[in-house]
Structure 1
Amino acid sequence: MKVRGERECKDCGARWSYYETGSVACPSCESLRSVGVDDERRLHTDAPVELDLSDARAALDDESLRETADRAGEVAREYVRKRGFVDAGELRALDDRYLTAHELRHAADAIGRRMDPSDEEEWYFLALLRGADAAEPDRPAPDEVPASMRGVRGLAYANAVREYRREMLDWLDEQPETRDRSVLETIGSHLKRVRALDGEVDPTDAEALVAAARDASRFLREDDAEALASARERLDRLAE
């Protein structure tokens, strides 16, 4: 949505940035009576939210794997629900934390549905649980994803890229100059294919789709022609 970033409390007169708090409530007196005072409204979709899985990890000692997965999945689900990629009119990059949170959410759902997860499936889920909220988010490499969890990664990445692509298009609508959107249309076609397959694609293909989205974003944000060429090359290889 488009908002005025600076707000002023009608009760105590305090001023704050909505872009930083994500709330119209006054941080000084908690009044909801506030008004935007900026002249310009800017597109803003992000919200201040942390991914904290410490409680879910601690629950491993006392709860079943399925219960821990439910707990972790809910945290990851809330995180990706609040996240966005446009901050005060500026398009942000598609970051690893968002990707890993998506993957953890899908992996947690898969573990919850399995009556008896294999050792490989359990390892995969726990690796995501350990690494998703690290300072540098970590997830299993493509060749480490169990065959039974390939759909989890493929669908998680497709859903993450789908949301990011949607925000890139919304951001483009706000730009004063026309920019080439054809690469985003091609990404959309690949997303439809992956989602139609319930994510059952080679993990390296899922990684390539993410990389193409990141290249496309760099092209749009920085007018980087090499990034556009890289995105198109990745997408062409996926189509082979």
Structure 2
Amino acid sequence: MKVRGERECTECDTRWSYYETGSITCPDCGSMRSVGVDERRRHTDSPVELDLSEHRLRFGEAAGTLPEDGHADLEADLRAYVHRRGFIRGGELLPLDDVALAARELLQALDVYGRLADPTDHDREYLLRLLDGADDGERPAPGTVPDRLRAARGLAYANAIDAYREDLTRYLDDMGADTADDSGPDVDLEAARDVLESLRDRIRRVESLHGDVDPDAIETLVRAANDLGRYLREGDATALSSARERVSGSTQ
């Protein structure tokens, strides 16, 4: 949706950024009577932080099988974070960041791990590694993903890329509509849309395989999505070429 980012309280005249707070309530006097005072801009990213420190205290010292208690709370916090995340903030296109990717993978890995009949030490250690670094955007390298958890990464990343692709589409539509604004980068909108369509096809392929793909292949699609985002932000033709090459070379 498009919203007015700068708001002014009609009670005390305080001004603040809706993009930063996500609230129409005045941070000074608490009044809900406020008005937007600037132009509307596309905004899909809500202000939210991922803090898993309490969950690490519960699971971090676990030995052997992970404790059952606390799984629901951890999953709820991860879902809340994922639900509030978007990739356009006040009209500015953001990258597909590592925290968003790691949070989705941890959420998916918890589900897969919970259904394993005999999780190994490697499986458990990998899950704890995700938990240890997700809120700092630390993503384990593709080659370290256990075989039985690679579907979790594949499906999680596919979902993240698809969410990013939807925001890229919105951003492209806005660029196409702003024909009077020549201050932005010079981009080929149709070429970008062609890459987006190819990216969509690759993601559907991963989904049809329930995420069970080579971790290196899904990582290539993450980089392709970010290359395309960089092209739209900066107009760098090499980024478009890189995105196209990565998508076309990511066959499963």
TM range (shorter): over 0.9
Q: Which residue of 2 aligns with 1:190?
A: 202
Counterpart CA distance in 2 for 1:70 and 1:198 is 23
Partner Cα distance (2:29, 2:116) in 1: 48
The equivalent position to 1:199 in structure 2, one of 211, 223, 235, is: 211
Give the residue type in structure 1 aligned to 2:113: I
Residues 69 and 111 of structure 1 are in contact (CA less than 8 Å); yes or no, is this contact kept in structure 2? no
Structure 2: any 5+ residue segments left out of the alignment?
A: 180-187
Residue equivalent to 2:155: 155
- Which of the residues 22, 47, 67 maps onto 1:65? 67
Q: CA deviation at 1:171?
A: 1.0
Separation (CA, whole Å) in 2 of partners of 1:213 and 1:108: 25
Q: Distance in 2 between matches of 1:141 and 1:94?
A: 17
Residue correspondence of structure 1 range 19-58 to structure 2 within 5 A: 19-38=19-38, 40-58=39-57
CA contact (8 A) 2:48 2:84 kept: yes
AA of the residue aligned to 1:107: A
Going from structure 1 to structure 2, the CA distance change for 1:210 and 1:156 (only over 3 Å counts) comes to: same
More divergent stretch after superposition (9-18 vs 220-229): 9-18
Contact 1:86-1:92 within 8 A present in 2 as well: yes
CA distance in 2, matches of 1:91, 1:187: 18
Aligned residues: 237
Structure 1 range deviating more: 65-74 or 121-130 = 65-74
Match of 2:235 among 223, 229, 233: 223
Which residue matches 1:127? 129
Secondary structure (helix, strand or coil) at the match of 2:68 reads: helix
> Taking structure 2 as the reference length, what is the TM-score of the superposition?
0.88
TM-score using structure 1 length: 0.93
Q: Can you list the C-alpha shifts for 1:21-51, whole angstroms capped at 9, x where unaligned?
A: 111111112222211121x110011111111
Match of 2:184 in 1: none
SS across alignment from 1:26 = coil
1:103 corresponds to which letter in structure 2?
E
Return the offset for 1:239. Answer: 2.7
Q: Equivalences for 1:2-17 in 2 at 5 Å? A: 2-17=2-17
- Aligned partner letter, 1:232: R
Task: Give the superposition deviation at 1:113.
Answer: 3.0
Task: Name the Cα RMSD after superposition.
Answer: 1.8
Question: Secondary structure of the equivalent of 1:132?
Answer: helix
Q: 1:212 aligns with which of 212, 217, 224?
A: 224
Work out whether residues 66 and 124 of structure 2, in 8 Å CA contact, stay in contact via their aligned partners in 1: no
Identity of aligned residues (%): 51
Shift of 1:65: 3.0
Distance 1:51 1:226 in 2: 33
Measured in 1, the distance between the counterparts of 2:199 and 2:119 equals: 33
- Distance in 1 (CA, whole Å) between partners of 2:66 and 2:121 is 15
